[in-house]
Amino acid sequence: EYNATLPSQMPLGASVDETYASYEQLPEEFQRIENGTKHTATAMKACIKEYNVTLPAPVKTSGSRDALLEQLAIINPDLVAQEAQKSSPLKVSGTKADLIQAVKSVNPAVVFADELLDAWRENTEGKVLVTRQQLSTALNIQKALLEHPTAGKLLTHPSRAVEVSYFGIDEETGLEVRVRPDLELDMGGLRIGADLKTISMWNIKQEGLRAKLHREIIDRDYHLSAAMYCETAALDQFFWIFVNKDENYHWVAIIEASTELLELGMLEYRKTMREIANGFDTGEWSAPITEDYTDELNDFDVRRLEALRVQA
């Protein structure tokens, strides 16, 4: 509105005729070219520019609030004084931290969702946080287990007991023993125990799965713990329920611990218990490897070596 009241600047003109027309409209004090001399475009434009410089400049109509108030002070200082009494508007741009601080400056009690989540993560009260993807995978694994003809019956059997702890004293060493099988059933006097294990075997060929599962049992001492379960909890049979945890392929394998496998586990368990008892008695805990040795080929590597020798 103020800018509309200001006199417009005189155009310089795109041609000599347009420039002369603008020059003729200048106040006399700016028509500095003497009569009788040639009115060149350059001379006339110099006069026009001199005149335009004297005109009041329009105030800016864009920019920050502070910049606009500075411009407004030129034409209406009273209004600017009134505006100065008002609180500055909140920021609507900037970092998240800046915007949060801006809101809290007018409402200190406000709580943001990020703050609630942070507080929740920092005070889990013994709970394990899982993502939506992890929860989805867990539910799919559960579904696969419950739909399996054997695993489903074991896991939902009405007489099942879950994670019951048993305590005992090892007769040979006197050490205290505690076991807690995942699942146990009493079926007409036959006590059955089971452990649920997740595995990832996406890169194992089907014909090699049984051997791989056997190595999984041996390498992780599952047979040893199964023997402990059977002795301490008086179990007659023991099973492992393996479920593949790879995304969208949750196949299930039920494996019973054979008599020989349980015997192997029991002998290894006895040997380990004696070593632990000896460590407590003597205070000496020997390293697992105490002598230097030369690495030798196993049976598989020997066969590979012989085959390559034939090809050489």
Which tokens is 132 given? 């939506």
- The single-letter DSSP state of residue 281 is H
* 221 and 100 belong to one structural domain: no
Which tokens is 234 given? 């008086």
With 80 as the cut, is the pLDDT of residue 24 above it? yes
Q: What per-residue confidence (pLDDT) applies to 9?
A: 82
Domain contains 303: no
The C-alpha atoms of residue 121 and residue 139 are separated, in whole angstroms, by 22
* 160 and 141 belong to one structural domain: yes
Q: Where are the alpha helices (DSSP H) in the chain?
A: 2-5, 16-24, 41-54, 65-75, 77-84, 96-106, 113-122, 132-147, 151-156, 209-219, 222-232, 259-282, 299-311
Please, which pLDDT band fits residue 305 given cuts at 50, 70 and 90?
A: very high
Q: What per-residue confidence (pLDDT) applies to 8?
A: 80
* 249 and 144 belong to one structural domain: yes
Residue with the bigger pLDDT between 165 and 67: it is: 165
Domain contains 196: yes
Q: Provide the 3-class DSSP secondary structure of residue 85.
A: coil
With 90 as the cut, is the pLDDT of residue 239 above it? yes
Residue 194 phi, psi dihedral angles, 5° rounding: -155, 150
179, 229 Cβ separation under 8 angstroms = yes
Give the C-alpha distances (Å, rounded to integers) separating 13 from 42, 45, 105, 227: 11, 8, 55, 105
Please indicate, yes or no, whether the overall pTM of this predicted structure exceeds 0.95: no
Q: What per-residue confidence (pLDDT) applies to 238?
A: 98
Q: What per-residue confidence (pLDDT) applies to 142?
A: 97
The C-alpha atoms of residue 238 and residue 141 are separated, in whole angstroms, by 22
Count of structural domains within the chain:
3
Q: What per-residue confidence (pLDDT) applies to 74?
A: 67
* 276 and 138 belong to one structural domain: yes
Domain contains 76: no
Number of H helices, E strands in the chain: 13, 7
Contacts of 103 (CB under 8 A, 6+ apart): 90, 110
**What is the extent of the structural domain holding 265?**
134-282
Residue with the bigger pLDDT between 67 and 279: it is: 279
* 186 and 271 belong to one structural domain: yes
- Find residue 185's DSSP bridge partners: 192
With 90 as the cut, is the pLDDT of residue 28 above it? no
Tell me the pLDDT tens digit for each residue of 80-131.
677 666 666 666 777 888 888 888 888 888 888 888 888 888 887 888 888 8
The domain boundary residue, chosen from 82, 101, 129: 129
Domain contains 293: no
* 46 and 168 belong to one structural domain: no
Buried b (16+ CB within 10 A) or exposed e, 79-109: ebeeeeeeeeeeeeeeeeeeeeeeeeeeeee
* 107 and 23 belong to one structural domain: no
The C-alpha atoms of residue 258 and residue 266 are separated, in whole angstroms, by 12
What's the sign of the alpha-carbon dihedral 129, 134, 136, 139? negative
Give the distance from CA 249 to its chain's centroid.
23
* 271 and 142 belong to one structural domain: yes
